């Protein structure tokens, strides 16, 4: 029975009952939960915004049928609150809304759109042994019309799928497409948890965009915000004159952003949020949800020192388990910077039930290291190696997200220390490191262009940057790294098996703070070696420790002329020889430009005479 499930927090389909739905005899059926209200009326365009009374049941659910209401018309609920105030409220379960700054809900009829992605849905997976490269974007500022207006969902469907394919992304992650009043919140302070934002069109328009992405082989992840909601008086806050959705205790009513915290101890709130999550997956065929601000759910006010929010933890477990039960292989990703244990363990094994979590430690340590003056990095060598010390505790996504491109933090490229040319060289090496490091990948739009300007939601990306060789060649490298990642089994298969990764020694002296790093990844019958030089020094004849009788063949070097480098590459196959290197029985000599990365295949097969000749010639060339 819906009522029982709704009040106990077990419902995942409350939106099928509440809100506004076409009535069997014509018009619309309205239902809203407002137990504290003295009275509730439906007001809308069909009745000239004059109230039609709703009937209350014993559980506090108000209902009415309006036979003259039609799809497309605007409406609200006029709520008489216990203190005598009367407020016009948007429908918490509305499926569409008026364009901001107006705030009315809009009636939506039965969808006429039919998805054609059945085969995609049947075959989608969680990507544990597959490449997952996510393009995070804000639909309103990726591209705009020549006049500066938003593109519609349909117009985006014509452009976005091909762009993602040519740049080798596997998924698009959309910043919230749920309704919100303030553009500058980017959708992270929501007013409509079931309402497709009208900025870009209609619910069917969004369906067309998702379907087009699926037809292009691109998965779709929606941002989902269960931690807090906008405090505007037309929305959920103080909805029926009581704190129906938010906590009543004053010290936890409001979040650090000034929004209201959801009360996870109310069954009705749990059902509301769970149903919202299920709605976006079910109605729009989303392949997953990225859950925002998870530490603010796990801990009171997001502060571990205030203690774990037990009710919120229970909510996450039950929501995640329920979504898996309903939809199977949908990706559930936590934006979580905390040390809360077992975030990505299944609920039945005591975990929260997420499939992945963002590796905020990797992001912070890497960007902090590369923003330091070159001489200061020598004492921080292990900031680059530390990520692998904890990597196998959870299932991670390496994320260089929108949060790293705004609010005075500078863009990824501009964070890096050094001159204009040094920034580009280091950024090329950074992305080679990212795409060859274990973990799934996420990049915010513009990262692939070498964007210099911080992201501004009010304008499109600086696409004109591609007229400049430095940016155009950088995008070409980014694209090549995406291709290498997707086509190399060693970079995705068995990445959570510790036996498939190992650090390698380098012969730059006995000190390990020289700023050169090397590691090997092996899976799917392939071994790849990545060597990074995060120093301003070049290395000719650098010793790389390895086993006897191996050959390295360079398949990518960020200093290649093609990517805007100076051309210091390893063109010939490189054969090992019996000179030990810091504990390794043999070595290979390679060359590395300043601020560069090189990726090699490693083969253990016997070395042919031709390869020996190439290797000898290569070593002679490097010693000249």
Distances (CA, A) of 298 to 117, 145, 339: 35, 41, 11
Assign residue 577 the CATH number of its domain.
2.60.40.1180
Answer yes or no: do 43 and 150 share one domain: no
Contacts 24+ apart (CB under 8 A), 568-571: 568/538, 568/592, 568/593, 568/596, 569/598, 570/598, 570/600, 570/618, 571/618
**Percentage of the chain surpassing pLDDT 90?**
85
Collapsing DSSP states into helix, strand and coil, what is residue 427?
A: helix
Answer yes or no: do 483 and 509 share one domain: no
Distance CA 39, CA 600 (A): 71
Answer yes or no: do 372 and 478 share one domain: yes
Residue 120 domain flag: no
Answer yes or no: do 232 and 282 share one domain: yes
Closest CA to 255 of 310, 202, 293: 293
Answer yes or no: do 49 and 80 share one domain: yes
Answer yes or no: do 408 and 281 share one domain: yes
| Better-scored residue on pLDDT, 506 or 319 | 319
pLDDT at 604: 84
Residue 113 domain flag: no
pLDDT at 65: 96
Is 200 a residue whose pLDDT tops 80? yes
Residue 124 domain flag: no
623 — pLDDT class (breaks 50, 70, 90) = very low
pLDDT at 605: 53
Q: What is the CA radius of gyration of the chain?
A: 27
Answer yes or no: do 332 and 447 share one domain: yes
Distance CA 350, CA 348 (A): 6
624 — pLDDT class (breaks 50, 70, 90) = very low
Answer yes or no: do 517 and 467 share one domain: no
pLDDT at 513: 52
Average pLDDT rounded to a whole number, residues 527-551? 91
Residue 118 domain flag: no
Of 491, 508, 542, the position where a domain reaches its end is 491
What range does the domain containing 67 cover? 2-106
In three-state form (DSSP H/G/I as H, E/B as E, the rest C), the secondary structure along 66-126 is: ECCCCCCCEEEEEEECCCCCEEEECCCCCCEECCCCCCCEECCCCCCCCCCCHHHHHHCCC
Show which residues are catalytic.
292, 335
Average pLDDT rounded to a whole number, residues 548-575? 94
Residues 138-171: pLDDT tens digits? Answer: 999 999 999 999 999 999 999 999 999 999 999 9
Q: Would strands 506-507 and 501-503 be described as parallel, antiparallel, or unpaired? A: unpaired
Residue 166 domain flag: yes
617 — pLDDT class (breaks 50, 70, 90) = very low
Assign residue 79 the CATH number of its domain.
2.60.40.10
578 — pLDDT class (breaks 50, 70, 90) = confident
- Which of 23-32, 358-367, 417-426, 572-581 bottoms out in mean pLDDT, i.e. has the lowest? 572-581
1 — pLDDT class (breaks 50, 70, 90) = very low
Provide the number of structural domains found in the chain: 3
Q: Burial letters for 332-367: b for 16+ Cβ neighbours within 10 Å, e otherwise?
A: bbbbbbbebeebbbbbeeebbbbbbbbbbbbbebbb
Answer yes or no: do 367 and 440 share one domain: yes
Assign residue 366 the CATH number of its domain.
3.20.20.80
DSSP conformational letter for 262: B
Residues 354-406: pLDDT tens digits? Answer: 999 999 999 999 999 999 999 888 889 899 999 999 999 999 999 999 999 98
Residues 98-150: pLDDT tens digits? Answer: 999 999 999 999 998 999 999 999 999 999 999 999 999 999 999 999 999 99
Distance CA 275, CA 118 (A): 23
Residue 411 domain flag: yes
Residues 407-434: pLDDT tens digits? Answer: 888 999 999 999 999 999 999 999 999 9
Answer yes or no: do 472 and 323 share one domain: yes
In three-state form (DSSP H/G/I as H, E/B as E, the rest C), the secondary structure along 565-582 is: CCCCCCCCCEECECCCEC
Answer yes or no: do 209 and 276 share one domain: yes
Residues 237-289: pLDDT tens digits? Answer: 999 999 999 999 888 999 988 899 999 999 999 999 999 999 999 999 999 99
- Average pLDDT over the chain, rounded to whole? 93
Residues 584-609: pLDDT tens digits? Answer: 888 899 999 999 999 999 998 565 55
Of 432, 458, 491, the position where a domain reaches its end is 491
Residue 119 domain flag: no
Is 176 a residue whose pLDDT tops 60? yes
Closest CA to 283 of 352, 165, 196, 353: 196
511 — pLDDT class (breaks 50, 70, 90) = low
Tokens coding 6: 């709704």
Q: Would strands 192-196 and 133-137 be described as parallel, antiparallel, or unpaired? A: unpaired
Instruction: Indicate the burial class of 160 (C-beta count within 10 angstroms; 0-12, 13-18, 19 or more).
Output: buried
pLDDT at 618: 44
pLDDT at 579: 84
pLDDT at 458: 93
C-beta separation of 219 from 170 below 8 A: yes
**What pTM was computed for the model?**
0.92
Of 88, 106, 124, the position where a domain reaches its end is 106
Distances (CA, A) of 619 to 182, 534, 591, 623: 61, 23, 10, 6
Average pLDDT rounded to a whole number, residues 178-196? 92
Residues 6+ apart with CB under 8 A from 300: 252, 306, 307, 308, 309
Is 87 a residue whose pLDDT tops 50? yes
Answer yes or no: do 442 and 512 share one domain: no
**In the Cβ-directed half-sphere of 9, how many Cα atoms lie within 13 Å?**
16
**Percentage of the chain surpassing pLDDT 70?**
95
Residues 430-456: pLDDT tens digits? Answer: 999 999 999 999 999 999 999 999 999
Collapsing DSSP states into helix, strand and coil, what is residue 407?
A: coil
């Amino acid at each position: 029975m819906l009522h029982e499930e709704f009040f106990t927090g077990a419902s995942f389909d409350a939106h099928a009952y509440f809100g506004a739905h076409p009535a069997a005899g014509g018009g619309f059926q309205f239902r809203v939960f407002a137990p504290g209200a003295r009275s509730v009326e439906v007001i809308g365009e069909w009745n000239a915004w004059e109230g039609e009374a709703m009937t209350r049941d014993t559980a506090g659910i108000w209902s009415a049928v309006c036979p003259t209401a039609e799809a497309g018309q605007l409406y609200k609920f006029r709520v008489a609150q216990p203190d005598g105030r009367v407020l016009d409220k948007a429908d918490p379960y509305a499926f569409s809304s008026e364009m901001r700054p107006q705030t009315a809900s809009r009636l939506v009829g039965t969808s006429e759109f039919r998805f054609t992605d059945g085969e995609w849905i049947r075959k989608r997976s969680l990507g544990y042994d597959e490449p997952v490269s996510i393009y995070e974007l804000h639909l309103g500022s990726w591209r705009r019309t020549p006049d500066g207006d938003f593109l519609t969902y349909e117009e985006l469907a014509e452009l976005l799928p091909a762009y993602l394919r040519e740049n080798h992304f596997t998924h698009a992650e959309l910043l919230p497409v749920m309704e919100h009043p303030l553009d500058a919140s980017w959708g992270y302070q929501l007013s409509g948890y079931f309402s497709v934002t009208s900025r870009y069109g209609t619910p069917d328009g969004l369906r067309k965009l998702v379907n087009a992405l699926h037809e292009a082989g691109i998965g779709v992840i929606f941002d989902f915000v269960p931690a807090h909601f906008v405090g505007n008086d037309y929305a959920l806050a103080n909805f029926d004159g009581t704190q129906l959705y938010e906590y009543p205790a004053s010290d936890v009513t409001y979040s650090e952003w000034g929004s209201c915290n959801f009360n996870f101890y109310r069954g009705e709130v749990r059902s509301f949020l769970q149903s919202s999550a299920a709605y976006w997956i079910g109605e729009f065929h989303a392949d997953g949800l990225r859950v925002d601000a998870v530490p603010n759910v796990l801990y009171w006010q997001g502060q571990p020192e205030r203690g774990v929010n037990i009710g919120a933890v229970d909510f996450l477990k039950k929501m995640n388990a329920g979504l898996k039960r309903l939809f199977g292989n949908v990706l559930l990703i936590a934006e979580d910077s905390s040390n809360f244990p077992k975030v990505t363990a299944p609920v039945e094994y005591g975990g929260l039930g997420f499939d992945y979590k963002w590796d905020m430690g990797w992001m912070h340590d890497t960007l902090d290291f590369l923003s330091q003056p070159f001489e200061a990095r020598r004492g921080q060598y292990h900031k680059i190696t530390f990520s692998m010390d904890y990597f196998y505790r959870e299932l991670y996504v390496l994320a260089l997200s929108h949060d790293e491109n705004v609010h005075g933090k500078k863009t990824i490229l501009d964070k890096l220390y050094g001159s204009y040319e040094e920034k580009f060289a280091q950024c090329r090496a950074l992305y080679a490191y990212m795409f060859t490091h274990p973990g799934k990948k996420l990049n915010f739009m513009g990262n692939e262009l070498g964007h210099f300007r911080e992201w501004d939601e009010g304008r499109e990306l600086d696409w004109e940057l591609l007229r400049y060789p430095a940016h155009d060649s950088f995008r070409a490298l980014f694209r090549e790294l995406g291709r290498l990642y997707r086509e190399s089994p060693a970079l995705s298969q068995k990445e959570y098996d510790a036996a498939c990764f190992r650090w390698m020694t380098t012969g730059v002296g006995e000190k390990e703070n020289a700023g050169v790093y090397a590691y090997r990844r092996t899976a799917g019958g392939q071994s790849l070696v990545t060597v990074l030089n995060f120093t301003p020094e070049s290395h000719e004849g650098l010793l790389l420790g390895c086993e006897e009788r191996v050959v390295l063949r360079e398949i990518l070097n960020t200093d290649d002329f093609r990517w805007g480098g100076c051309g210091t590459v390893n063109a010939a196959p490189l054969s090992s020889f019996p000179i030990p290197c810091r504990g390794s029985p043999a070595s290979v000599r390679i060359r590395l430009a300043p601020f560069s990365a090189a990726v090699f295949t490693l083969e253990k097969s016997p070395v042919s005479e031709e390869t020996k000749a190439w290797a000898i010639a290569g070593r002679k060339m490097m010693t000249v």
